[in-house]
Amino acid sequence: MSQLPKFSLARQLTASVWPGKAADDYDSLLAARFHKLAAAGSTGVLPFSGAGDGAIYFRDGEIIFARSTRTPGPPDGTAAGETPYIRLAAALAMAEPTVDATAELLITESRFTKFRPARTPVSDTAPGLGVEGLLSEVARRRRILAQLAPVVTADSTVARIPQLRTPDIRVSTLQWALLIRVRDGSTPRSLAWELGRSVFSTTLEIYRLLALRLVSSAAQRGHRNGHDPEYGPATMSFVRAVSPEAVSPETVSPEKGSSMPADDLAPRGGSGPDA
Amino acid sequence: MILSEADTLLAPVTQIDGFVLACLVDASTGMVLASRQNQGEISLPTAAAGAADIAHVLSLLAGQLAMNEGLEDVMVTFSDHFHVIYPVSPDPEARILLLVVLDRARTNLAMARREIRTFCMNFAS
B53-106: pLDDT as tens digits: 998 888 878 777 777 777 889 999 999 999 999 998 766 666 899 999 999 999
| Radius of gyration, CA atoms only, chain B | 14
Interface test with A, best of B9, B31, B93, B125 (most A CBs within 10 A): B31
DSSP A168: -
Of residues B24, B34, B53, nearest to A239 (C-beta): B53
Environment class of A66 (CB within 10 Å of its CB; exposed 0-12, middle 13-18, buried 19+): buried
Work out the minimum CA distance from B109 to partner chain A, whole angstroms.
25
pLDDT at A268: 36
Q: List the one residue out of A244, A92, A251, A220 whose CA is nearest residue A153.
A: A220
State which residue of chain B sits closest to A88, comparing Cα positions.
B6
Residues of B in contact with A239 (CB under 8 A): 46, 49-50, 53
Q: Which residues of B touch A (CB under 8 A)?
A: 1-6, 9, 24, 26, 28-31, 33-34, 43, 45-46, 49-50, 52-53, 56, 59-60, 62-68, 88-90, 93, 95-96, 122-125
Answer whether A137 sits within 8 Å of B53, measured CB to CB. no
Work out the minimum CA distance from A154 to partner chain B, whole angstroms.
14
For residues A55 and A46, the answer to whether their CB atoms sit within 8 Å is yes
pLDDT at B38: 87
State which residue of chain B sits closest to A213, comparing Cα positions.
B64
pLDDT at A166: 74
What residues does B39 pair with on adjacent strands? none
What residues does A112 pair with on adjacent strands? A48
Residues of B in contact with A84 (CB under 8 A): 9, 122-124
> Residues 6 or more apart from B74 whose CB is under 8 A from it?
B51, B54, B55, B58, B83, B84, B85
pLDDT at A16: 39
**Alpha carbons A232 and A210: distance in angstroms, whole number:** 7
**Alpha carbons A237 and A242: distance in angstroms, whole number:** 9
Residues of B in contact with A136 (CB under 8 A): 45
* Count of beta carbons in the 10 Å neighbourhood of residue B125: 9
pLDDT at A232: 57
Q: Which residues of A touch B (CB under 8 A)?
A: 83-85, 88-89, 91-92, 95-96, 99, 127-130, 133-134, 136-137, 140-141, 144, 166, 168-174, 198, 200-201, 204-205, 208, 211-212, 236-239, 241-243
**Alpha carbons A159 and A21: distance in angstroms, whole number:** 39
Environment class of A233 (CB within 10 Å of its CB; exposed 0-12, middle 13-18, buried 19+): buried
**Alpha carbons A52 and A69: distance in angstroms, whole number:** 6
Answer whether B26 sits within 8 Å of A96, measured CB to CB. yes
pLDDT at A131: 93
State which residue of chain A sits closest to B34, comparing Cα positions.
A88
State which residue of chain A sits closest to B7, comparing Cα positions.
A88
Instruction: Mark out the alpha helices in A108-158 (DSSP H runs).
Output: 131-148
pLDDT at B61: 82
Strand order of the β-sheet with B81-87 is B31-37, B19-26, B96-103, B81-87, B74-77
Please give the full DSSP string across A222-262, using - where no structure is assigned: HHTTTS---SPPPPP-HHHHHSTTPPPGGG--TTT---S-H
State which residue of chain A sits closest to B92, comparing Cα positions.
A172
Instruction: Mark out the alpha helices in A20-72 (DSSP H runs).
Output: 25-39
Answer whether B124 sits within 8 Å of A85, measured CB to CB. yes
Residues of B in contact with A127 (CB under 8 A): 3, 5-6
Cα–Cα distance list, A258 to A54, A113, A138, A141, A265 (Å) = 25, 28, 17, 14, 9
What residues does A47 pair with on adjacent strands? A55
Q: List the one residue out of B18, B21, B20, B24 whose CA is nearest residue B2.
A: B24
Interior CA angle at A35 toward A31 and A41, to 5°? 150
**Alpha carbons B18 and A7: distance in angstroms, whole number:** 50
Answer whether A133 sits within 8 Å of B2, measured CB to CB. yes
Running along chain A, 275 residues long, what does each successive block of 10 average in pLDDT? 48 42 70 93 92 89 93 76 80 90 88 85 80 92 93 94 80 92 95 96 94 85 54 76 61 40 36 32
pLDDT at A275: 27
For residue range B5-57, what is the model confidence (pLDDT) as tens digits?
667 789 899 999 999 999 999 999 999 999 999 877 899 999 999 999 998 88
